[in-house]
Copies of this chain bind each other. A is one copy, B any other.
Amino acid sequence: MVSNLKIMFLGGVGEIGKNMTVFQYENDIIVVDAGLTFPSEDMPGIDLVVPDIIYLVSNKEKVKGIVLTHGHEDHIGGLPYMLGDINAPIYGSRLTLALVENKMREHQKIQYKSNTIKEGSVIKLGVFNIEFIRVNHSIAGAMALAITTPVGIIVFTGDYKVDYTPMNVEIIDLARFAELGKRGVLLLMADSTNAERAGHSMSERVVGQALDEIFAENATRRLFVATFSSNIHRLQQIFDLAVKYKRKVAFSGRSMLNVTDTAIKIGELRIDKEIIIDVEKADKYADKELVVITTGSQGEPMSALTRMASGEFNKIKIGDNDTIILSSSSIPGNEKMINRVINNLVRLGANVIYNEIADVHASGHAYIDEIKLIHALVKPRYFIPVHGEYKHLKAHADIAITMGMQARDIIMPDLGLCVELNKNVLKIAGTVPAGKRLVDGLGLGDLDSMVLKDRKQLAEDGLCIVVLGLSDESSEIVSGPDIITRGLIYSAEASNMVTEAKESITDALKELDLKQIDRLELKSIIRKALTVYFFKKTKRRPMILPIILEQ
């Protein structure tokens, strides 16, 4: 008798980022991807968000390997917060593993084993045979997986697009998808990010042509291109244009330096090192001799481009002979920051070219026609849409239905959902523990912690400390109440409000016999009096911390 295969979603399915999918057959587990995401506005002071892996930790001896589809942060960024607990070997393409290695350099204590996989090859992890299939994406070395399990074949696309004219790499291995489809695929799990976009995504080569035109038209001007540092093919195109138009290249931004260094080392980026110059020496070159490749396409506050835009970047000053290309798209949530950077650059006189006004960026994710192509080739018995917000997953399910699948053969994934599969059934089989772990300077925390709640209250309403000294014997007030506030009172009103706040405490304590009242209750009385006073006066509820001293 054959058991069911279990598929569990530990990553943020239906949100952006932190992908992690777990496949289990009896005592064998494989993990596909281990991503991170960035905090939302209700998580002040948090740096990163990674999946809760308690299910894996409690089954750690079963984990045979961690398989990575590609090297984007939302697929590998969670590894440093996982490998300490789950000591399984990692499998991925050369670039993917080089980026993992970069990342793990900041976590030197963690030991891990990694194995470079070439496209087309097959590995065996427990009962699973995993074949790596070449796909196109906005990073080199992206691969889909064909996972042969005891119940049947699962095709897992990872992030992909179909680019008939990609840069430096071959077209997605459509023939292999077709062969698998012919052999019979039990389940397809496929990228949904652009399932609402009609037609076919733009080719990376079209971006190259648009950039070439901009280089030609701006022959006498200084050029800047901001893009994602992991988009090696884009970097290659910019490099090739620099050679063609006889410009030197300066890199700006730490991640840009790290990634290009790595990519050059492993041969993914093929460039003449002669034309790279140090950004510190950028001002030694005439405008027409230079192109600066920079980070900051998302308007990140500390990035080189953001600092150039606000005039705080000493190495380079932006002026009216500069043309700046944002060769990127807006990650949802970043629009306002990106607009601010564009506005500041325009204010400094620069000409700014971005996605909305020229073809300077191509998405790395399949549009509807490409999605249909994969469905038509793979012809799966069952389907689970993955990668994308919930609305995208739903749109992808609708595409599968218009192509003839039955709604009952499709399952919408969700965080913590456990799905069971055999050759006759795809069904929801319950849930496993799953959620967000928050990473900040302190290490790992959780969303419900008091720490975050306190930070939010402090941020929005400020703080009031009351120090009250009572005599040891008689419990009379011998000092205070003294009041310290932060983030609460504008200085113009300060002395007046502090006086009134003190009075509200004195009033509250006036009738009480402090000898009879325990200290916790006393604190609560003070807290209540001040809460009422500040709410009446400011419509806010500051955090109130009474400190009682027996003197």
Please list the residues of chain A having a beta carbon within 8 angstroms of any beta carbon in chain B.
14-15, 40-41, 44-45, 196, 332-333, 335-336, 339, 342-344, 346-347, 352, 356-357, 389-391, 394, 414, 440-443, 445-446, 449-452, 454-456, 458-463, 465, 467, 469, 479, 484, 486-491, 493, 537-540, 543, 545, 547, 549, 551
Contacts and interface: CB of A to CB of B under 8 A. Distances in A.
B462 A45 contact: yes
Contact of A449 (B442, B491, B545, B551): B491
A382 B486 CA distance: 50
B456 A459 contact: yes
A323 to B, nearest CB: 14
A269 B270 CA distance: 66
A440 B357 CA distance: 38
Contacts of A347: 14, 390, 414
Given A465-B545, A547-B547, 14 more contacts: A45-B487, A332-B335, A332-B339, A342-B389, A441-B538, A449-B490, A455-B458, A458-B486, A458-B487, A459-B459, A463-B486, A479-B549, A484-B545, A549-B549
B332 A336 contact: yes
B460 A455 contact: yes
Top 7 A-B pairs, shortest CB-CB distance: A441-B539, A459-B459, A458-B458, A454-B487, A333-B336, A343-B390, A455-B487
A479 B548 CA distance: 12
B463 A549 contact: no
Nearest to A338: B332
Majority secondary structure of chain A interface residues (helix, strand, loop or mixed): mixed
Contacts of A356: 196
Contacts of A463: 454, 458, 463, 486
Given A454-B462, A455-B459, A551-B549, A543 B486 contact: yes
A237 B537 CA distance: 43
Nearest to A543: B486
A45 B343 contact: no
Contacts of A454: 462-463, 486-487
A45 B394 CA distance: 36
